[in-house]
Amino acid sequence: MSAGRLAGFRAIVTGAGSGIGAATARRLAADGAQLFTVDLAGDVDMTVDVTAEGANAAIIAAATDALGGIDALVPCAGVSAFLPLEGHDDAAFDRTIAVNVTAVFRLVRDALPQLKASGRGRIVMIGSVASAFGDAGLVAYAASKHAVLGMARAMSGELGGAGITVNCVMPGAIETPMTAPAFTDMPEYRTHWEAKAALGRLGQPEDIADVIAFLCSEDARFVTGQGILVDGGAMTRM
């Protein structure tokens, strides 16, 4: 870790009340960044549902007010549910897309003036191994995470001229409040992912946060439009 490498850097982290978002907020702060944190509840700067009408404009306005500008967006707020295709509920599908995709699109769009003014803008989206693969019960989630990777790639082309990098971190199986029930209730699920990872373990939120911090840093200045698997090697093996 290089202390202070993000000194003066101003970042919005959504989903910062839990799991990967909380670890990311801690890591960016440890590197010297100033943060504006958002979640539905908890110890954050702003409690709001990112899908609510006008939420994104309100987040951008409040963050700009508090920090004096915005250099980075890290939209970690996300939802996931196992929903078999047969009987898959419209509302659950729509909710997954609204949180994981539409809210991210709106946040980026509404932050463009600040990101362009920054001169070193960074957008780090949170995809998933489900940005590149799919599995039973994950139709809505995989659709949303494939969309996130597609948005990152498309936006990188559109925003590169303004010096803004856009990347998508794709975590494997990470132990967070989102996944804890599945890993606890289904020990075979935990064993499957531990065995699948070349490194032989589940990931921790910090394993993802550290890569996000790298992508925000000057060291990653020539990295854009990338989907980066951070999965302990799980998806590289047959």
Write the single-letter amino acid at 238: M
Cβ closest to ligand NAD, residue 20 vs residue 152: 20
Largest CA distance in the chain: 51
Q: Which residue in 37, 51, 96, 224 binds ligand NAD (CB under 6 A)?
A: 51
Tell me: does residue 21 bind ligand NAD (CB under 6 A).
Answer: yes
Least distance in angstroms from the C-beta of 14 to ligand NAD: 6
Phi, psi of 167, rounded to the nearest 5 degrees: -130, 165
Q: Which residue in 9, 13, 156, 171 binds ligand NAD (CB under 6 A)?
A: 171
Sheet with 227-230: list strands edge to edge: 46-47, 34-39, 10-14, 72-75, 122-126, 165-171, 227-230
d(CA 70, CA 113): 9
d(CA 102, CA 233): 30
Tell me how many residues contact ligand NAD (CB under 6 A). Answer: 27
Annotated catalytic residue 141: yes
Tell me: does residue 101 bind ligand NAD (CB under 6 A).
Answer: no
Tell me: does residue 78 bind ligand NAD (CB under 6 A).
Answer: yes
Tell me: does residue 79 bind ligand NAD (CB under 6 A).
Answer: yes
- Residue 211's alpha-carbon distances to 1, 82, 134, 195, 203, in angstroms, are 11, 27, 23, 23, 12
Going 181 to 19 to 100 to 222, the CA torsion angle's sign is negative
User: Nearest-CA neighbor of 101 among 113, 111, 90, 109?
Assistant: 109
Least distance in angstroms from the C-beta of 66 to ligand NAD: 18
Tell me: does residue 168 bind ligand NAD (CB under 6 A).
Answer: no
Answer yes or no: are the C-beta atoms of 124 and 167 closer than 8 Å: yes
Answer yes or no: are the C-beta atoms of 10 and 67 closer than 8 Å: yes
Tally Cβ neighbours within 10 Å of residue 54.
11
Cβ closest to ligand NAD, residue 72 vs residue 126: 126
> Which residue of the set 19, 37, 122, 141 is catalytic?
141
Least distance in angstroms from the C-beta of 4 to ligand NAD: 26
Least distance in angstroms from the C-beta of 109 to ligand NAD: 17
Tell me: does residue 125 bind ligand NAD (CB under 6 A).
Answer: no
How far separated are the first and last CA of the chain, in Å rounded? Answer: 33
Tell me: does residue 206 bind ligand NAD (CB under 6 A).
Answer: no
Cβ closest to ligand NAD, residue 2 vs residue 184: 184
Q: Report, as residue numbers or ranges, the catalytic residues.
A: 141
Summarize as ranges the residues that interact with ligand NAD (CB under 6 A): 14-15, 17-21, 39-40, 49-51, 76-80, 99, 126, 128, 171, 173-174, 176-179
